[in-house]
Amino acid sequence: MWSEKYRPKAIDRLIGNEESRLVLSAWLSKWKPGAKAALLMGPPGTGKTTFVNLLAKENGMNLVDLNASDVRTKDMLRKRMGEVMGTVSLFGERSLIFLDEVDGLAGRADYGAVEFIKESVKESQNPIVMAANDPDSDEIKKLSSSCLAVRFRPPPPREVEMYLREVARGEGLAVGEEELRRYVRESAGDVRQAINLLQGSQQRSQGGDGDSRGRYKDTDRTVSEAFNGFFGAADKEEALASLRAVSMSPFEKVREMHRSVVKSGLPAPELARALQTVSSADLLIGRMMKSGEWRMLRYLDRLFVEGLFPLVKGRGVKYTGQDDLPFPVLVRVWNDSKKIREISVKYAAKAHTSGMSARSQDLPYVFALCSKKQFREGMERALGLDADPDVLESYDKFLQKEAAR
Amino acid sequence: MAKKRILVGGWFDLPRVGRDVFSALMKQGVVYDKAMGFKLDSGTDLQAAVRTVRAAAGEEVELTLRCFVCGKESCPGCPYLSSCDRTRVSTLCLCADHAPEKSVFDAYSETFDVHLKA
């Protein structure tokens, strides 16, 4: 495989994420015990793992690679990381501890794992690097506040083209400009995919089978064109091809699909079934996050095609876009969400339940009861919302508004 | 709607924004300097920040990237301009003077080494 043959052998032969690579290289060269850990955040396939491997190699360090989804509890982490963290070789050589897919630490079973990492970092005799696919998850936000957090993104098309030309030059190929650009567009920033497409076309032109991976990718489309391509597709294959061209994280894909379905104007029974499919997709993502089984991602698009496409086919459903709410409304939603989160934390502590249960099960009823002034004031006192008169006033207004819903 | 062009890594102005918007921008990793203004960089959640800036400025926002080799604006004349989502790709690119067809990979790698040693 050319993608293996041309896998970068040094940090300066990687493409994209130049600033992140420089920041991390400087971090490691200046690292000393007690310094922060590094956290690489970015979608799969953006070169996080390759970069960390090369970083260890170029700094003469031994890489200790742990997949966080395999060691999800505090005890397991302590067992696997404990020895490595406190060990330096006789000659003072350090190891680079790499904790991949720390998104896998999310969930109740992992209680304590994130805290353990945060504490361990301070005591470790070896630098720790973590990688996560979803920077927006709560666990990752918790971690990133105490780490050197850097983002990894797909390289821009021109850099992919540069690398593809380098591969073509290495293979002694004369590939037309338009052909190269087509592979760049179809690969959507995935360098391996671009190289596979180039290799496939060369093998086909030489009479071989060729590698047809990525034939459904059509990233010359915008997100809205790809979504609208899905809603307006003639058959399931076309719908699947369109959905695969959506260049978004799975979480965003589910969220955008939800928005479009909600605003689709489908009759109630179809709408219910469509939302059921979106809900299943959301569950799939949740389970994937909990277990760290990123392989399940391959079922996401198929789930939409099998469950949702037959319901929307020929109904004129359109992609609603990401900015369907006016900004002042979005700000209000953010503020309200923040208040609900704060209240649920205080309520959960009093009611000996989790914040999630408080939000989903208890608070809707509690808010309804807040229409009675006496109850509302009692609750404000019980939750300690009355400590500051200004804060109390804002909470009181919020509770009245929620009660009036 | 008017279009506001923002160079990623360069400073730009916004009309006075409220506390909520400012707080949202800071959470999204936008850099602020009282004298210079606002800046989007590699640590910024570009998609969210662009949405917020668009709403705050009341203008469409078009991001442009800088050339990693020479630092010039790289997007004008790029053949991928229409299909490249600059909020999703990494924040430096190559300009027309250092376009891929000019076999710039070695120059690109050397530039990286120069920055690394600096």
Please give the Cα distance from B106 to A124 (Å, whole number).
38
Residue A301 CB partners (closer than 8 Å, separation 6+) = A240, A243, A244
CB contact under 8 A, A17 and B93: no
Inter-chain contacts counted by CB atoms under 8 A, chains A and B: 116
Among A127, A74, A147, smallest CA distance to A105 is for A74
Q: What is the pLDDT of residue B7?
A: 94
Q: What are the distances in angstroms from CA A261 to CA A114, A240, A267, A316, A320?
A: 36, 17, 11, 12, 9
- Alpha-carbon distance of B45 to A326, in angstroms, equals 20
Answer whether residue A220 shows pLDDT above 50. Answer: no
A256 lies in the same domain as A342: no
* E strands in B15-88: 31-33, 37-39, 60-64, 66-67
- Asked if the Cβ–Cβ distance from B42 to A20 is below 8 Å, we say yes
User: What's the 3-state SS for A79-147?
Assistant: HHHHHHHCCCCCCCCCEEEEEECHHHHCCHHHCCHHHHHHHHHHHCCCCEEEEECCCCCHHHHHHHCCC
Statement: residue A140 has pLDDT above 60? yes
pLDDT computed for residue A375 by the predictor: 92
**Is the Cβ pair B99, A158 closer than 8 Å?**
yes
Note whether residue A117 is domain-resident.
yes
Q: Does A113 score more than 80 pLDDT? A: no
Cβ count near A10 (within 10 Å): 12
The sign of the dihedral angle between the CA atoms of A128, A129, A131, A135 is positive
Is A115 part of any domain?
A: yes
Q: Is the pLDDT reported for residue A237 higher than 60?
A: yes
CA distances in angstroms from A196 to A1, A158, A215, listed in the order given: 8, 17, 11
With 70 as the cut, is the pLDDT of residue A104 above it? Answer: no
User: Would you state the pLDDT for residue A201?
Assistant: 80
The rounded distance, in Å, linking the Cα atoms of A74 and A80 is 10
Supply the Cα-derived Rg of chain B in whole angstroms: 16
Tell which of A261, A280, A312 closes a domain. A312
The 10 Å Cβ neighbour count of residue A63 is 16
Highest mean pLDDT among A111-115, A212-216, A287-291: A287-291
Which CATH number do you get for residue A147?
A: 3.40.50.300
Per domain, the residue ranges of chain B are 3-64, 66-117
Answer whether residue A353 is part of any domain: yes
CA distance B102 to chain A (A): 9
- Whole-angstrom Cα distance, residue A214 to residue A307? 23
Same domain, A42 and A126: yes
Given pLDDT bands bounded at 50, 70 and 90, which one contains residue B104? confident
Mean pLDDT taken over chain A: 82
The whole domain housing A284 covers 247-312
A85 and A46 together in one domain: yes
User: In this complex, do B85 and A247 lie within 8 Å of one another by their Cβ atoms?
Assistant: yes
Confirm whether A177 is domain-assigned.
Answer: no
Residue A33 has pLDDT above 90, yes or no: no
Q: Does the structure show a pLDDT above 50 at A217?
A: no
Same domain? For A24 and A137 the reply is yes
Contact (CB<8Å) A19/B108? no
The answer on A388 and A354 residing in a single domain is yes
Interface-testing mutation among B19, B42, B69, B72, with chain A (most A C-beta atoms within 10 A): B42
Q: Is residue A44 part of a domain?
A: yes
Q: What is the mean pLDDT of residues B16-39?
A: 91
Which residue in B41, B94, B27, B50 sits closest to A23, CA to CA? Answer: B41
Confidence at residue A317, expressed as pLDDT on a 0 to 100 scale = 85
Number of H helices, E strands in chain B: 3, 7
Sign of the torsion formed by the C-alpha atoms of B104, B106, B110 and B113? positive
Please name the member of B42, B84, B112 whose beta carbon is closest to the beta carbon of A157: B84
Question: Is the pLDDT at A234 greater than 80, yes or no?
Answer: yes
Look over chain B and give the mean of its residue pLDDT values, rounded to a whole number: 89
Chain A residues touching B110 at Cβ < 8 A:
12
Strand partners, A304: none
Tell me the average pLDDT across A287-313.
83
pLDDT of residue A219: 42
Which of A151, A175, A209 is a domain's end point? A151
A274 and A397 in one domain? no
Q: Which of A11-25, A130-144, A266-280 has the lowest mean pLDDT?
A: A130-144
More confident site: A103 or A351 = A351
Inter-chain residue contact A158 with B56, CB threshold 8 Å: no
Minimal Cβ distance to A185: which of B20, B83, B110 = B83
Answer whether residue A100 shows pLDDT above 50.
Answer: yes
Mean pLDDT to the nearest integer, A246-266:
83
Mean pLDDT value across residues B65-76: 92
Q: Structural domain tally of chain A? A: 3
Residue appearing with tokens 């005890």: A75
Q: What is the mean pLDDT of residues A166-171?
A: 89
Torsion-angle region of A173 (φ positive above 0: left; ψ -120 to 50: alpha; else: beta)? beta
Q: How far is CA A27 from CA A16, A98, A293, B16, B113, in A?
A: 18, 15, 30, 36, 16
Q: Alpha-carbon distance A52 to A225, whole Å? A: 36
| Residue B63, token pair as written in the block | 């991001």
Position B49 confidence tier, pLDDT thresholds 50, 70, 90: very high
Of A135-139, A348-352, A367-371, which range is least confident?
Answer: A135-139
Number of residues that make up chain B: 118
The residue with greater pLDDT, A321 or B84, is: B84
In a domain, A167, yes or no: no
Spatial neighbors of A266 by CB under 8 A, at least 6 apart, are: A274, A311, A312, A315, A317
- Per residue in A46-92, pLDDT (tens digit) is 889 899 999 998 888 888 887 766 665 677 777 777 767 666 666 66
CA A127/CA B64 separation, integer angstroms: 35
Range picked from A150-164, A240-254, A358-372 for highest mean pLDDT: A150-164
pLDDT of residue A277: 92
**Alpha-helical segments (H) within A206-267:** 223-231, 236-244, 250-262
What is the mean pLDDT of the segment spanning A224-248?
82
- In this structure, the answer to whether residues A257 and A374 fall within a common structural domain is no
Nearest to A12 among B79, B88, B109 (CB): B109
In a domain, A240, yes or no: no
Decide if pLDDT at A214 tops 60: no
Residue A105 has pLDDT above 70, yes or no: no
